[in-house]
Amino acid sequence: MPNKFDPNNKIVEKIITDTKYFVIFVLLGFIMFGYIIQKCNKDGNESELQLIALQRILKFEVQSSVVEKGKDSRNRNTPYIKFSNKEELDIGENFLSKVEVGDSISKKKNTITFNIFKLTNITDYDYLVDSQGKYNKK
């Protein structure tokens, strides 16, 4: 068994000169390169989708009560709420769990905070905090 510190042990020479080792080395290199490219593309797509969702929330404005809430089975079970003014908003699971039918919601344009008015209290929901995963599900 060769010592790993043996100066006569020429692993690099074996990889370059022996076809079998060279092919294995090249295949491993391609697999690692493909994984890195795929990971970068996935992260880039997720960031782009989050930015689009944030822009949509910033443009949204509402002062209305919730008349329906649920998950849209036609749209991959995306949570949504419908308002008394006939508007509909796709939302996240955390927001869905904080809102009940009959609650009033107020949100001004170019803000990320929803004010949820319940019978006994007012709750603020920050879209940006939720999109970063900082809300605990209750």
Q: 37: Cβ–Cβ under 8 A, 6 or more apart, which residues?
A: none
What is the C-alpha separation between 48 and 52, in angstroms, rounded? 6
Do 108 and 60 touch, CB atoms closer than 8 A? no
Angle at the Cα of 63 from the Cα atoms of 59 and 67, rounded to 5 degrees: 110
Q: Are residues 49 and 73 in the same domain?
A: no
Q: Are residues 18 and 45 in the same domain?
A: yes
What is the C-alpha separation between 33 and 46, in angstroms, rounded? 20
Number of domains in the chain: 2
Which of helix, strand or coil describes residue 10? Answer: coil
Mean pLDDT across the stretch 59-69?
Answer: 91
Q: Are residues 69 and 119 in the same domain?
A: yes
User: Which structural domain range is residue 35 located in?
Assistant: 11-53
Q: Are residues 28 and 81 in the same domain?
A: no
Write down the pLDDT at residue 137. 47
Q: Are residues 41 and 96 in the same domain?
A: no
Q: Are residues 33 and 49 in the same domain?
A: yes
Ordered alpha helix ranges (H), the chain: 11-17, 19-59, 93-98, 127-131
Task: Please say if the pLDDT value at position 16 is more than 80.
Answer: no
Q: Are residues 29 and 79 in the same domain?
A: no
- Which of 8-12, 47-51, 57-61, 134-138 is most confident? 57-61
Mean pLDDT across the stretch 60-80?
Answer: 89
Q: Are residues 44 and 67 in the same domain?
A: no
Q: Are residues 47 and 73 in the same domain?
A: no
Q: Are residues 87 and 40 in the same domain?
A: no
Which of helix, strand or coil describes residue 90? Answer: strand
Q: Are residues 69 and 47 in the same domain?
A: no
What's the alpha-carbon Rg for the chain, to the nearest Å?
Answer: 27
Residue 38, classified by CB atoms within 10 Å of its CB into exposed (0-12), middle (13-18) or buried (19+), is exposed
Write down the pLDDT at residue 83. 93
Task: Please say if the pLDDT value at position 98 is more than 50.
Answer: yes
Q: Are residues 44 and 99 in the same domain?
A: no
Confidence of residue 106 (pLDDT cuts 50, 70, 90): very high
pTM value is 0.61
